[in-house]
Amino acid sequence: MSTDDQLKQQLDDFRKDFHKLRSEISRVIVGQTEILDDTLISLIAGGHVLLEGVPGLGKTLTVRTLADALHLDFHRIQFTPDLMPADLVGTQVIAETADGRKVFEFQKGPLFANVLLADEINRATPKTQSALLEAMQEHSVTVAGVTHRLSEPFFVMATQNPLEMEGTYPLPEAQLDRFFVKLLVKYPKVSDLETILDRTTENFKPHANAVLTGERILQMSQLSRLIPIAADVRRYGIALVVATHPDHELASAAAKKYVRYGASPRGLQALILGAKIRAILDNRYHVARDDLRTMALPVLRHRMILNFEGQAEGISTDDVIRKLMADVKEDALTNV
């Protein structure tokens, strides 16, 4: 078998495993196809997910079901205003050795898991929220000057209530940028509500079985990075990101008017990685501009800060992204 044939077979297996995992989760979660796809894309890309929606839409159940469908360790942390950083990371405790000596011993916190559910993350104070920063970026934590590595894969799924709700704190911009995507969980359709009632008010309770291992997720992550992207398509991705910067020469009119700070290079990396996985799922072996446009909203919406005018007019970052996608030309960076 040639190298090309081997790669084709590996990508076919990638799609099969992706759909197997999504199908298993769909045994419990009704509808929310886009949410599930973007969540699994983030997992494979090695990123983290922020789910936003009002209580009762199944955000926590989605994370629990994902953990059930994977052979991975799962921990849940309920964020509250009195939660402290040590409650996440762990702390040094005094232990007694066999010969009676007292020594300090590191007791791991719930952060040490493969899949971490940070439930209602914006109900904790910014100090506690920031305790996740090192773990999300470096996959390690430092306590008392000692660095402790986390198990791979390490995947954080955080849920948050809309900021307009009482008792919430906005996430620091540096932490928001660590999330691969931010997904907005909507109310289910009427037909989905029928199915939800069947699954939750009847005697039958569906359950997801473990179908993939952490090792397989890491293999899929490495495979996705082999997908090529043409230079002109990559430049188009760069153009989409720099169009969010109000002071850049290629800034869109909407960004100049409504945006204070645009997306970071980390956002561009997420855009490209997500587009590569989208290409695989669409049975293609190269990235297209449509892949970038599909990933633009979930990848960029939380990486932009609106100015006062944007907030006063009730403009959302999604509105700005849609406007700039309409404005940015496919050859925007040809002469730059």
Select the highest-mean-pLDDT range: 57-66, 70-79, 154-163, 291-300. 291-300
Q: Does residue 216 sit in the same domain as residue 73?
A: yes
Q: Which amino acid is at 238?
A: I
Place of tokens 């997801």: 208
Q: How far apart are CA 193 and CA 163, in angstroms?
A: 26
Look at the chain and report how many structural domains it folds into: 2
pLDDT of the residue at 4: 74
Domain-embedded: residue 84: no
What distances in angstroms separate CA 54 from CA 17, 63, 187, 254, 333, one per listed residue? 31, 16, 9, 28, 40
Domain-embedded: residue 88: no
Q: Does residue 246 sit in the same domain as residue 322?
A: yes
pLDDT of the residue at 56: 66
Domain-embedded: residue 106: no
Q: Does residue 217 sit in the same domain as residue 233?
A: no
The region, left, alpha or beta by phi > 0 then psi within -120 to 50, assigned to residue 192 is alpha
Cβ-based neighbours of 191, under 8 Å, separated by 6 or more: none
Q: Measuring CA to CA, which residue among 255, 258, 254 is closest to residue 314?
A: 258
pLDDT of the residue at 331: 66
Of the ranges 152-166, 232-246, 309-323, which one carries the lowest mean pLDDT score?
Answer: 152-166
Q: How far is C-alpha 227 from the geometric centre of its chain's CA atoms?
A: 21
Place of tokens 């153009």: 239
Q: How far apart are CA 67 and CA 24, in angstroms?
A: 11
Q: Which two tokens stand for residue 8?
A: 């084709």
Residue at a domain's end among 171, 188, 221: 221
Asked if 255 contacts 243 with a C-beta cutoff of 8 angstroms, the reply is yes
Mean pLDDT of the chain, nearest integer: 84
Q: What share of the chain is helix, strand, coil (3-state, %, to 5)?
A: 45, 15, 35
Quickly list H helices, the chain.
3-26, 33-45, 59-68, 85-89, 126-129, 133-138, 173-176, 190-200, 214-224, 231-242, 253-258, 265-281, 289-300, 308-312, 317-327
Residue at a domain's end among 221, 240, 274: 221
Q: Does residue 69 sit in the same domain as residue 182?
A: yes
Domain-embedded: residue 332: no
Residue at a domain's end among 221, 242, 270: 221
- pLDDT, one tens digit per residue, over 272-297 is 999 999 999 999 989 999 999 999 99
Q: Which domain holds residue 303?
A: 227-327
Look at 30 and 252; give whichever has higher pLDDT. 252
* pTM score of the predicted model: 0.87
- pLDDT, one tens digit per residue, over 157-186 is 888 877 655 556 777 787 888 899 999 887
